[in-house]
Structure 1
Amino acid sequence: MDQDVSFATVDACGQNLLSLVSRGNAIVAELLRLEDYLPDVFRKEKKEEGKKFAPVIFDFSYFQTSDAVEAKIEADDNLKKLDTQFKESYCNVISRFYMAYESIFKYAIDLNGYLSDLSEGVYFQHSLDNVFADADGKQLMCEALYLLGVQLLTAEHIDGATRERLLVAHHRAAVQSAAAACHLDDVCKLLRSTGLGESGRRPANYPEHYFSVALAPQAAMLYVCLFFKPAVLAMETAMMREIVDKFFPDNWVISVYMGSTVNLLEAWEPYKAARTVLHASLDTAAVKQLTGKHATRMEWSFQVK
């Protein structure tokens, strides 16, 4: 590449990466701005303000009993009026929070997509190697990943329990206005409480587990897309080994879409290559180690509660 020509402006590869980085900076700026716009009803230190609307503000436990909760509100005129007042007073700012949180999810998806395109030769003059060999390319690639991490950490400035209440409030308003967001399920998974700040110590595997959630949707998309190329599932053992090692090393039951889950052991049973590789990863020692790790995490979670 001509040293006098900037990678970021010479073609679509550089321009798309520069655009992604610009978006990342804008998302961080919006998250920081929103900290000053968090309504008092959601602030822990403003308990008096929150008491009035407490009966119609819910955390993620709402999703387990949503029908019963909505029926209770509908059956009580006072609760209905309170719910309506809450939505009319805070709907716009809650929507703004949701859009900011959704933008983090979309950024992660687009960053993954860009890297996949680069690896698969979509930008025929570029590869990961020559982008990293270019000074501007290396700077932008590092900055793009850095900004995803900054977005996730900045979102944590508002505690997890409050984020959950904001997301549920948005969901309830969006559903009833027929404007439910298509990414809500994924955004809830990404921005759910990490446990940070809920006890006197840092949560186990924080923030690496939190960061990994941002990349998890790629595994679900890959699972679905593989059925468009069944020969890979059936015969490409080497490729399936790479796929399992990278995307399904310890998650064999995955969420595909809006709470729909799939057990890979069952789904891939008819496909020889996929079945063989997956079973090879399920050796007794690995399963015991994974079980122990999750047991420790659950014990810590109960201690926090």
Structure 2
Amino acid sequence: MEFFNSANGRNITFVRPAHFKISGLIGIPNIKYYYVCLFFVYIVSVLGNTIVITLIIFDHNLRSPKHIAVFNLAFVDLFSSSALVPKVLDIFLFNHHYIPYNECLAFLFFCFACFSMQALNLVALSYDRLVAIIFPLHYQVKVTQKFMLSLIAFFWVYAITITLTAVGLLTRLSFCKSVVIESYFCDHGPLYRLGCNDITPNRAIGGLSPILILWLPLIFILGSYCGIVYALSKISTAQERVKAFKTCTGHLSLVAIYFLPTIFVYRFGRTIHPNARIINLSLTAVIPPMLNPIIYVLQTQEIKESLKRFLKMRRGQSKIATTN
């Protein structure tokens, strides 16, 4: 407990504010148009991910280990969008800039846990593609439903542990200088920098977290595709190589959409205007959950066929209801 309360035994007045003020999007010209964009993105995210979740639940043909990972990704995307976008719109569109202390930490926890799981879920899907292409004859033995569920459960524990550590270290801070968070939500970095006492542990977890939830997953994914490319090079005909690689295009698209903007913003974000950086950061959080279900519906044959069956069934039910 002493580690989480750095004011114990020291001549420090511990200050825990009643509220924080979220100020990231205040004062940006024409920002209301951006709020309209956020609302549109949120609606598309909710509809798209709900469709994917519904198809996987009710279509028994979509019960493979890969679709368990797709289901979890859709769930995480839906949950992260619902945790972030409505609150951001409430804060800035309706001028509710002050957020209670505990609510701010809960806001941070749910957002960061979901952001972490998005990256880790892409690792699960890359492993699925790696085994399917390198060990096609042993795929059903190596990648079972039980294995995929266990892997996803481990990733949830992993993401929650890292996020809880970051949030727990914030509770040891005394906020005697300012309560203004210069971000679009209760962001970890801008929040711990407001602390008056020793922020070294917070800075350490702030530097370690991107390695654990961004760079390590990306390294594994890139390594898996090196193995996939090597395996494809051993296939004799170009037609078979293209056919095998097409099964990876949907996952590669998701990887590019998630990692490239995030890495760009965190790598070069300090060289651009703060307003542009905040908007770009928010877009990297809300765009992937919108595009992921669209990509999987369009590029995954099983989900596309399931959607066609569902729509055909709905049209048949509508005709029956009309005739009656």
**TM-score for both structures, normalised by structure 1:** 0.31
Q: Higher relative CO (CA 8 A, sep ≥ 6), structure 1 or 2? A: 2
**TM-score for both structures, normalised by structure 2:** 0.29
